[in-house]
């Protein structure tokens, strides 16, 4: 994430208005090698937490689309699991086959896993679930995300905890904010330490103010 420019450190203002010492922008993934490695991380997370039959991966537009494709490729190429994928259009197509869904046509009873980048307030997920239910009576087995910032959502709980309670859907992150701190503290990445003692203190203070217990 650091090498790809996805995880950066400094002084930022999040969409929530919170002042944060680190920022995550998965839109900065842009090479084939990055997509291949990221897809493998998603695939391993999926296989660890949702080991049974999965009929389709769904990638919410827009950032979820390449993530779902990369995960499907990794599952087929590295793990011998050929899994369907699909995604939505932001605007319904009114010509050709029409509709809002692209790729695999969901069927009643399908077990679907949502592939997403991050969940901050859960807004995107609240828009995604009705889309899936409108397409077919599917079972959403879980959501795989790249990072859990482990901070409060709309209330005292994290967006991930709210998703679990509101919809009964488990969310599995590849990595958490605290794992980022522990993994990068005083560790050189290409000759530079990104989380020194000062940055670690700023990140821990931020989590102390806005974080939740994992």
Catalytic residues: 93, 95
Helix (H, G, I), strand (E, B) or coil at 199: helix
Is residue 26 exposed (0-12), middle (13-18) or buried (19+ Cβ within 10 Å)?
buried
Spatial CB neighbours of 157, under 8 Å, sequence gap ≥ 6: 165, 212
CA distance 23 to 170: 24
Residues 140/184, Cβ–Cβ less than 8 Å: no
């Amino acid at each position: 994430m650091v090498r790809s420019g996805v995880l950066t450190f400094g002084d930022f203002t999040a969409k929530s208005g919170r002042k944060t010492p680190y920022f995550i922008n998965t839109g900065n993934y842009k090479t084939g090698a990055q997509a291949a490695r990221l897809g493998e991380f998603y695939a391993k997370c999926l296989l660890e937490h949702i080991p049974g039959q999965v009929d389709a991966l769904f990638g919410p537009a827009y950032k979820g689309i390449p993530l779902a494709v990369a995960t499907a490729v990794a599952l087929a190429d590295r793990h011998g699991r050929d899994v369907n994928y699909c995604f939505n259009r932001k605007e319904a197509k009114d010509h050709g086959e029409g509709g809002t869904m692209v790729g695999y046509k969901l069927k009643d009873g399908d077990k679907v896993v949502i592939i997403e980048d991050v969940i901050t307030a859960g807004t995107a997920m609240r828009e995604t679930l009705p889309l899936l239910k409108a397409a077919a009576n599917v079972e959403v087995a879980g959501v795989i995300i790249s990072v859990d910032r482990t901070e409060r959502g709309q209330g005292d709980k994290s967006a991930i905890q709210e998703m679990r309670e509101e919809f009964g859907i488990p969310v599995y992150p590849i990595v958490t904010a605290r794992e980022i701190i522990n993994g990068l503290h005083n560790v050189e990445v290409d000759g530079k330490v990104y989380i020194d003692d000062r940055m670690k203190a700023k990140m821990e203070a931020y989590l102390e103010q806005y974080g939740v217990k994992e």
